[in-house]
Structure 1
């Protein structure tokens, strides 16, 4: 009977140790899970704050004058010269209008 009692005691001790070990492992896993969740939420909050207070994107660059503007400007100058030569514009008026065309 002593042998059976010894085996039974060993089984009880081993079973209790396993149960305690499993419980400790579950509690530790739960703590790590909570910490991971808190860290995730903190990161999400920081990202939201960064997006909220981020500077707006820079405006697109101004369009570059197309090559088609050259002949149009030339045509305007030719018309202006024609008006000056016809006497419709004085030399001063011609110079002012020419400066406006060249300035864009």
Structure 2
């Protein structure tokens, strides 16, 4: 695990298909998504307008903005549908000691 990794939660805290927002000290909020056994983290703020993606919905690998319905792939951060055009930042995730760690 990298020295600057931050513990988010226990791996069991998220069920398959769940997502949760995390506010990290000195960082922009991120949203952690669980897809099967994979945990993925991206910026929580939509790149189109100020909206929290964690308040939207997750369908497979796609997260939908609650404000205008634009969407992003949580694996790549790539914008999938308008009005979103700019990709989200993605974050490396590690699983250690039964916990999810992110490197901002």
For Structure 1 versus Structure 2, the TM-score category normalised by the shorter chain is under 0.3
Question: Structure 1-normalised TM-score?
Answer: 0.21
Question: Structure 2-normalised TM-score?
Answer: 0.21
Greater RCO (Cα-Cα under 8 Å, separation 6 or more):
2
**Greater strand share, structure number:** 2
Of structures 1 and 2, the larger Rg is shown by: 1
**Greater helix share, structure number:** 1
